[in-house]
Structure 1
Amino acid sequence: MALIEQKISAQQNLFATAEFIGQVTPGWFDVNFWQQQQAITGQAKGRGAAIFIQHQQHQWVLRHYRRGGLVGKFIRDAFWFTGQNRTRVARELNLLAQMREWHLPCPSPVAGRVIQSGLLYRNDILIERIADATDVHDILCKRALTDDQWQSIGRTIRRFHDKQVYHHDLNIHNILLDASDEVWLIDFDKCDIRIGERWKQDNLARLHRSLQKELGKKLGYHFSQSDWLALISGYQP
């Protein structure tokens, strides 16, 4: 699933998969464009403020890249430009394309945009929206998962780790469960293919911390140590 780059102007480049390269326009990355088409079906939570789009038979997620942390308070969405293929959007699209070729359960890439301004750039991404899926955090706010579901989460994470996929922000919000109980991972910004083994346990520890954090924040959150042990049993080879 190779990506094709399309130069729109000296400042603007588009990326898309072969399926969409002849169709993608700068308007695809403009919220107002989709509002005029009455194609916006919802909006995600969180800093990125991604929007959900229905375009013909496709369900997509449009996300503008924003900075977090202390830097994000001063520079909201600009990044240092060091080449088109090193932009955040190009790296995420290429990683998604590679993972889909490996048949890993993640969103399919659609398209991306880079707008360069001197030494800085801003970027946006369009990806497939996973149909009939809910993030596991929202589920745990309402009910418990079964041991089989926790084990399935562990097995899914293991599939990514076996391909050396490092998830920069593996937390419970970035794990989805669809109507068929299939597990998906999302949000691959700043993720990559990484050598070695040690980081994998750190990845799992990050997920465990996110669950403990939510448990401490919300009364009646449906997570226990036995759930974590079920996840780990699924993760084990």
Structure 2
Amino acid sequence: MASVDWLWILHPFLAVVLIYPLIGMVIRLALQTRQRRLQKTKLPATVGRDHSDLGRWLSAGVVVIVLIALTVVIATKAPLAAFAGGTPRAMQLVLVLVGTLVSLVALWFSKAPGLRLVFAMITWAGVLGLGAQPEVWRLSDNPLDGAFWQSHYWAGVAVTGLMLFSLGARPEILRDIRLRRLHVSASVLAAVLFLMQGLTGTRDLLEIPLSWQKPTIYSCNFEARTCPPPAQPGL
């Protein structure tokens, strides 16, 4: 494997090692928190706080690894000398990436509800802006197309938005029963999307060839599922 191939597996590596274990812990603490509220079991008072704290790290972690994935895809699609748009476009994308990260940090530390809403929207807009670049491969951009609902990218964008909602509305979720119920519904949807991400991410890894294999693989006809015969030695 070349260096660029190691960069391509950085995103799934971080997801498997960091994100999915966090998901398991957050779900377990969420169930314990609900059981404690319903007084079905005697659990320590810290389970709710632990669920909230780990949930913050999960939300921020999801955004960061999505940004890592988008950055790697855009930066490695073509050699730097052949980068579409040249240096001006590259600098614009770097500014968007930095602005998105700064907005995420600001969201983490903001106290005012209005600021948290603004920074959550800016962060999500940054993710969407980077994801809209032509270097980012998507099965389909048409919601009426079945391939759209099988897209690893769009499910990732959706779950990122849900994570930003949980992060941005955290104080209100703790105080308002209606927002808490909305948070539960959003969390169930996020869990389903995470399951889809595990499946579609594995599928996409199988479909992405190593860098030295790409010239041959991409010469195949994917619709007909045929490839040109290999060149004969000496010809």
Q: Does the alignment reach a TM-score above 0.5?
A: no
TM-score by length of 1: 0.26
Please state which structure has a larger fraction of its residues in strand. 1
TM-score by length of 2: 0.26
